[in-house]
């Protein structure tokens, strides 16, 4: 970000300019301060108190809210789940999205229709997607049991099984989000310089070599972007958990945000919930800044 | 679906920044071998069915009787229960939740566009002391989701007397969308030729008139990108309305859907019909303006 764009002379604002600044800037500044900056600062402040949200926070407890998170089984599980989502996104979702993008970036029959089908789940609300899959996984009425029934197996209640519920959640996440990453890769593939690939082919490089040494490196910026969105999206996942499992069974499917909701908001433990928020904030900011600094420097 | 996507919808004559028109062959300049092609289509068709089957089963399930749903979740209904859908469509509840969502989303889009384009304009063209600091301050919101500060945000909304009102959802949504809007719009405004502004100022046109008569009309594509992102995220928002609202008459469709499911949890066929009807507007809009929406959502992500 440089301050002056090329060809633009640096102007002093002048009277009309200052008037513009005074009219144009304050509304955005005010709204942002009230609803984004202040709540974040207040979260840090409240997190040192034991407070139910009424009156003023007075019961100062120091770091107790944070300390109680350490070793808290439900919170540790939520944190681990967030990490599992990230790993699943990187290990399953991104290769799948890239593979499909490689097929669909070509001019093949039906490519546009397939792209739209794969992108479709992304525009649905997480709540709706979660509820649809709650039906799919439902042991009595759902599709999953109908499939196992074909093999003569008894109905499965995936979402009620504490060993399998979170895997079921992962399936829904991949179902909903891989199309978005596929679109990123298709956009990346279409902006590549085709002459490189043609030259390599003329020199006798195989399809695998061309992919490994030309397509993949040139796609680097888009892959880094896709990884960035996977991680950021994983850290804030919430809407889907509520309709699917509500965090259960036995608090095994919470994410950090759903933990914050079920243990902080619904019980009006403002101080405790704020501490969870601050932890989440630190994860998000550390990741966003660190990632941009070390991986997206050149993009 | 394929046909309509080949020609861009009207109003898209400024081509979107990222092209999805796809005319290049990727892997090989030779025509693919029959077998390779077959495998690729097999993969595509399997994946497409995994994506579509839950959606189709949901829509069909809405037409079934409960017993039919239990015996045969995949197939066509034995008896088409049009009444499942008709009862929802003829009731007030469905239209009310959609109306609420629409009001919230339109207000959010309008305010996001107005506030972020004005702020982006000053950051793009006016240089003053503290400009850099203020810009970075406004972009802080991009670093963390609203969920991190949701409890203090709830207290703030309550203390401002906005609890259980649509403004209590709209204003925070706009505040959190400002960072993305300012970033995208400022970059776009700076791409406009600087000579235009120099000439306009020379001729005695003020910044504000320049903003309304030159900047905004020339920036329609990027404004629509910001609008699409703001609209979709408001339409699909769940956490904020969940925390802010408590009377059902104000619920947007996401909350209304969960409330309906809670009420009719033993009647899956009705829940499925309600899901189908509530996601229908999004699907219809997507099919009608797919290029627009895809380009908006992905280009916004790429540029942001």
DSSP three-state, residue A73: helix
pLDDT at A3: 46
Distance CA B300, CA B177 (A): 12
- Say if B238 falls within a structural domain: yes
pLDDT at A298: 64
Distance CA B295, CA B23 (A): 17
CB of B209 closer than 8 Å to CB of A20: no
Asked whether the beta carbons of residue B156 and residue A35 sit closer than 8 angstroms, the reply is: yes
DSSP three-state, residue B160: coil
Query: CB distance from B42 to chain A under 8 Å?
Result: no
Residues of B in contact with A116 (CB under 8 A): 1, 5, 286-287, 290, 294
pLDDT at A15: 78
- Say if A175 falls within a structural domain: yes
Q: Which of A83, A89, A119 is nearest to A101 (CA)?
A: A119
Q: B17, B46, B148: which to substitute to probe chain A, counting the most A Cβ within 10 Å?
A: B148
pLDDT at B49: 94
Query: CB distance from A8 to chain B under 8 Å?
Result: yes
- Angstrom distances, CA of residue B127 to CA of A176, B213, B224: 43, 21, 27
Query: CB distance from A29 to chain B under 8 Å?
Result: yes
pLDDT at B250: 95
- Angstrom distances, CA of residue A170 to CA of A112, A241, A284, B107, B174: 27, 10, 21, 34, 30
DSSP three-state, residue B126: coil
Q: Which of B207, B233, B141 is nearest to A36 (CA)?
A: B141
Mean pLDDT by 10 residues, chain A (299 residues): 48 79 94 95 93 86 90 93 96 95 88 92 95 92 84 84 91 95 92 85 86 89 91 93 91 94 91 94 92 77
Query: CB distance from A46 to chain B under 8 Å?
Result: yes
Structure tokens at A199: 């030259």
Neighbours of B29 (CB within 10 A): 11
pTM of the model: 0.88
pLDDT at B194: 84
- Angstrom distances, CA of residue B156 to CA of A33, A53, B152, B153: 12, 11, 6, 5
Asked whether the beta carbons of residue B294 and residue A119 sit closer than 8 angstroms, the reply is: yes
- Say if A8 falls within a structural domain: no
Structure tokens at A62: 């120091």
Asked whether the beta carbons of residue A7 and residue B194 sit closer than 8 angstroms, the reply is: yes
Please count the structural domains in chain A. 1
- Say if A158 falls within a structural domain: yes
Distance CA A165, CA A247 (A): 10
pLDDT tens, chain B, 304 aa long: 333 333 333 333 333 444 444 444 444 444 456 778 888 999 999 999 999 999 999 999 999 988 888 888 888 988 898 999 999 999 999 999 999 999 999 999 999 999 999 999 999 998 888 899 999 999 988 888 888 999 999 999 999 999 999 999 999 999 999 999 999 999 999 998 888 888 888 888 889 999 999 999 999 999 999 999 999 999 999 999 999 999 999 999 999 999 999 999 889 999 999 999 999 999 999 988 888 888 888 777 776 5
Please count the structural domains in chain B. 1
CB proximity under 8 Å: A 185-244 to B: 186-187, 189-191, 194, 198, 201, 207, 210-211, 215, 222, 225, 229, 232, 235-236, 238-239, 242-243
- Say if A82 falls within a structural domain: yes
Structure tokens at B84: 């499942």
pLDDT at A139: 84
CATH number for A217: 1.10.3720.10
- Say if B77 falls within a structural domain: no
Residue with token string 């320049």: B210
- Say if B224 falls within a structural domain: yes
Distance CA A9, CA B197 (A): 10
Neighbours of A196 (CB within 10 A): 14
- Say if B45 falls within a structural domain: no
Which residues, 6 or more positions from A298, have their beta carbon under 8 angstroms from its beta carbon? A221
- Say if B67 falls within a structural domain: no
Nearest C-alpha in A relative to B116: A28
Instruction: Find the radius of gyration of the CA atoms of chain A.
Output: 24
Residues of B in contact with A183 (CB under 8 A): 20, 294, 297-298
- Angstrom distances, CA of residue A25 to CA of B114, B123, B135, B172, B224: 11, 9, 10, 17, 21
CATH number for B125: 1.10.3720.10
CB of A165 closer than 8 Å to CB of A246: no
Structure tokens at B203: 């001729």
Nearest C-alpha in B relative to A28: B115
Domain that holds residue A97: 64-294
- Say if B96 falls within a structural domain: yes
Structure tokens at B230: 């703001």
Please give the ipTM for the structure prediction.
Answer: 0.89
- Say if A137 falls within a structural domain: yes
Structure tokens at B211: 């903003």
Asked whether the beta carbons of residue B54 and residue A133 sit closer than 8 angstroms, the reply is: yes
Domain that holds residue B257: 92-303
CB proximity under 8 Å: B 97-136 to A: 114-116, 118-119, 121-122, 125-128, 131-132, 134
Q: A23, A32, A200: which to substitute to probe chain B, counting the most B Cβ within 10 Å?
A: A32
Q: Which of B290, B283, B254 is nearest to B52 (CA)?
A: B283
pLDDT at B143: 87
Residue A119, H or E segment? helix A111-123
What residue ranges in chain A does DSSP mark as E strands? none
B20-79 residue pLDDT tens: 444 444 444 444 567 788 889 999 999 999 999 999 999 999 999 888 888 888 889 888
- Say if A159 falls within a structural domain: yes
> Hey, what long-range contacts does B257-262 have (CB within 8 A, 24 or more apart)?
B257/A127, B257/A128, B257/A131, B257/B97, B258/A127, B258/A131, B258/A242, B258/A243, B260/B93, B261/A131, B261/A243
């Amino acid at each position: 970000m440089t301050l002056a764009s090329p060809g633009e002379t640096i102007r002093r604002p002048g009277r009309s300019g200052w008037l513009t600044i005074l009219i144009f800037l304050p509304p955005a500044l005010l709204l942002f301060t009230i609803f984004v900056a202040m709540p974040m600062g207040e979260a840090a402040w409240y997190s040192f108190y034991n407070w139910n949200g009424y009156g003023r926070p007075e019961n100062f407890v120091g770091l107790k809210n944070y300390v109680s998170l350490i070793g808290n089984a439900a919170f540790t599980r939520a944190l681990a789940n967030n990490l599992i989502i990230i790993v699943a996104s990187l290990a399953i979702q991104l290769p799948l999205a890239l593979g499909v993008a490689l097929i669909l970036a070509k001019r093949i029959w039906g490519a546009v229709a397939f792209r739209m089908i794969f992108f479709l789940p992304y525009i649905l609300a997480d709540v709706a997607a979660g509820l649809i899959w709650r039906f799919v996984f439902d042991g009595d009425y759902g599709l999953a049991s109908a499939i196992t029934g074909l093999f003569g197996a008894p109905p499965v209640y995936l979402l009620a099984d504490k060993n399998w519920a979170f895997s079921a959640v992962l399936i829904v996440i991949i179902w909903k989000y891989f199309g978005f990453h596929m679109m990123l890769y298709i956009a990346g593939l279409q902006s590549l310089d085709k002459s490189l690939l043609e030259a390599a082919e003329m020199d006798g490089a195989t399809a695998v070599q061309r992919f490994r040494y030309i397509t993949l490196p040139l796609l680097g910026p888009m892959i880094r972007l896709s990884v960035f969105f996977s991680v950021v999206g994983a850290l804030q996942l919430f809407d889907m958990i509520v309709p699917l499992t509500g965090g259960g069974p036995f608090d095994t499917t919470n994410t950090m945000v759903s933990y914050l909701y079920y243990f902080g908001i619904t019980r009006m433990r403002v101080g405790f919930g704020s501490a969870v928020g601050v932890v989440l904030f630190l994860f998000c900011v550390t990741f966003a800044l660190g990632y941009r600094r070390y991986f997206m420097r050149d993009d | 679906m394929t046909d309509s996507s080949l020609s861009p919808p009207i109003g898209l004559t400024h081509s979107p920044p990222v092209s999805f028109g796809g005319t290049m062959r990727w892997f090989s300049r030779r025509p693919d071998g029959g077998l390779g092609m077959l495998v690729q289509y097999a993969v595509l068709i399997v994946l497409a069915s995994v994506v579509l089957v839950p959606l189709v089963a949901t829509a069909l399930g809405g037409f079934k009787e409960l017993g039919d749903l239990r015996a045969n979740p995949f197939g066509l209904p034995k008896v088409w229960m049009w009444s499942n859908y008709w009862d929802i469509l003829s009731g007030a509840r469905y239209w009310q939740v959609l109306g609420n969502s629409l009001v919230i989303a339109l207000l959010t889009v309008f305010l996001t566009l107005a506030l972020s384009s004005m702020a982006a304009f000053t950051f793009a063209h006016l240089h003053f002391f503290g400009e850099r600091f203020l810009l970075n301050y406004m972009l802080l919101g991009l670093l963390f989701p609203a969920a991190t500060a949701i409890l203090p945000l709830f207290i703030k909304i309550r203390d401002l007397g906005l609890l259980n009102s649509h403004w209590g959802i709209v204003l925070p949504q706009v505040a959190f969308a400002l960072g993305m809007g300012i970033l995208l719009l400022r970059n776009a405004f700076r791409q406009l030729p600087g000579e235009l502004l120099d000439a306009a100022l020379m001729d005695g046109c003020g910044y504000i008139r320049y903003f309304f008569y030159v900047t905004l009309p020339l920036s329609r594509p990027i404004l629509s990108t910001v609008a699409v992102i703001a609209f979709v995220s408001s339409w699909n928002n769940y956490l904020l309305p969940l925390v802010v609202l408590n009377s059902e008459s104000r619920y947007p469709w996401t909350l209304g859907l969960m409330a309906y499911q809670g009420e009719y949890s033993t009647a899956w066929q009705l829940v499925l019909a309600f899901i189908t009807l509530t996601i229908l507007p999004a699907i219809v809009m997507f099919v009608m303006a797919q290029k627009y929406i895809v380009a908006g959502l992905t280009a916004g992500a790429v540029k942001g």
